[in-house]
Amino acid sequence: MSEKKLLVTRSSMPPFEEYAEMIKPLWESRWLTNMGEYHRMFEKEIGDYLESRVSLTVNGHMALELAIQSMNFPAGSEVITTPFTFISTTHAIVRNGLTPVFCDIGEDFTIDVSKIENLITERTAAIVPVHVYGNICNVEEIERIAFKYGLKVIYDAAHAFGERYHGRSIAQYGDMSIFSFHATKVFHSIEGGAVCCRTNEQYETLYNLKNFGIRSEELTVGVGANAKMNEFQAAMGLCNLKYITQEIGKRKLAVERYQELLAGTDGLWLNRRREDVESNYAYFPILFEDAEQRDVIYQKLREHEIYARKYFYPLTADAACFKNKYRNANLKRARYVTDRILTLPLYADITEEEQNRVVSVIKEGMAQGRMRL
């Protein structure tokens, strides 16, 4: 079979000339990083777009790792989080010397807020929830719990770029929210990330952490890492930001098309989007009733050069490096979902024909499955 390869995502590119124009002055200035002009411009523009104070970082993982570090939790503190996420979320907690406490997820795949309070101990310092697939967590309940127990909240909002909830930018929730601008995300700067913070003090702490703690030639005020976004990244971000509304609009059409094509398929559930969220249409996960069928269809799609992905399988709690290391709550629904989920190819310029190809392989596979039963 000589079908074109379909990957789960495909990076959006700005017109080549626009990026080329943008980076040309760098050959003159030779200022390639260290909070250059584009870094500062992008920080301002992305802040306006997200309606938040922003500190740019080299990638989303470092944004989360440094956001957590900036809170200065006592070593060994516990952080309540979801196991149904990209491994980065859990790594960022563990690399800070903190202990992840995994909480089960709810029907919308985000952390089950009714199970958080049971997991709180005197060592609990924070909650790190994830707006997985761009599904917004129950932010009101998380805020209530955090306030009641004096916990910090840091949202991993890597999937939620550009989303609004009740008319408010999702970047404004929690003590901090972080975004990833990785090439595979709805919005990208090749690699890149951002911490959205609330106060000048937070901003300055993050600045120190991403720049070796260096404040001037002879003054180093803290032990920092190097996590600065460079000028080529910032230029790409500035170019792509011009097209973000258009990009999300195209994704919306593609998502609606998948929904139409797949609606009512026996044995399949589609991700529900909330009316009160302005979505970014980041992912198209489907949930199989039958776990074995998920694996069969995943394989069939691959045979047709369609690389759907099991986002997220396995749970981060079950990763080889974490398995049996941490106190695990009952992760019943997370385990159910991780065995049955499949994320379909989705990007702004996916064609109708490509979507038809994906859907027909799924539907054929499902029909064969039923005949077997």
Ligand X SMILES: *Cc1c(COP(=O)(O)O)cnc(C)c1O
User: Considering CB under 6 A, how many residues would be counted as binding ligand X?
Assistant: 15
Residue 182 binding ligand X, by CB under 6 A: yes
Residue 61 binding ligand X, by CB under 6 A: yes
Give the shortest CB-328-to-ligand X separation in angstroms: 20
- Cβ-based burial of 160 (10 A; exposed 0-12, middle 13-18, buried ≥19): buried
Q: Which of 60, 106, 129, 237 binds ligand X (CB under 6 A)?
A: 60
Which residue's Cβ has the minimum distance to ligand X?
A: 60
Q: Which of 159, 164, 228, 357 binds ligand X (CB under 6 A)?
A: 159
Q: In Å, what is the CA distance from 331 to each residue of 115, 128, 297, 327? A: 10, 16, 25, 11
Give the shortest CB-29-to-ligand X separation in angstroms: 26
CA–CA gap between residue 165 and residue 173 (Å, rounded): 10
Could you tell me which of 165, 103, 155 has the C-alpha nearest to residue 132? Answer: 155
Q: Which of 154, 158, 241, 346 binds ligand X (CB under 6 A)?
A: 158
- Scanning residues 79 to 98, which ones bind ligand X (CB under 6 A)? 85-86, 88-89
Give the shortest CB-133-to-ligand X separation in angstroms: 9
CA–CA gap between residue 372 and residue 312 (Å, rounded): 27
Residue 193 binding ligand X, by CB under 6 A: yes
Is residue 160 within 8 A of residue 131, CB to CB? The reply is: yes
Residue 346 binding ligand X, by CB under 6 A: no
229 vs 286 by CB, closer to ligand X: 229
Residue 156 binding ligand X, by CB under 6 A: yes
Is residue 301 within 8 A of residue 361, CB to CB? The reply is: yes
Could you tell me which of 263, 251, 252 has the C-alpha nearest to residue 359? Answer: 263
161 vs 165 by CB, closer to ligand X: 161
229 vs 366 by CB, closer to ligand X: 229
Give the shortest CB-129-to-ligand X separation in angstroms: 11
Q: What is the DSSP letter of 300?
A: H
Q: In Å, what is the CA distance from 186 to each residue of 88, 93, 119, 125, 251? A: 18, 24, 33, 31, 9
**Phi, psi dihedrals of residue 286, rounded to the nearest 5°:** -125, 145
CA–CA gap between residue 293 and residue 308 (Å, rounded): 14
Element (H, E) at 255: helix 244-262
Residue 180 binding ligand X, by CB under 6 A: yes
| Interaction mask 111-130, ligand X, x per CB under 6 A | -------------------x
In the complex, the residues that contact ligand X under the rule CB under 6 A are: 59-61, 85-86, 88-89, 130, 156, 158-159, 180, 182, 191, 193
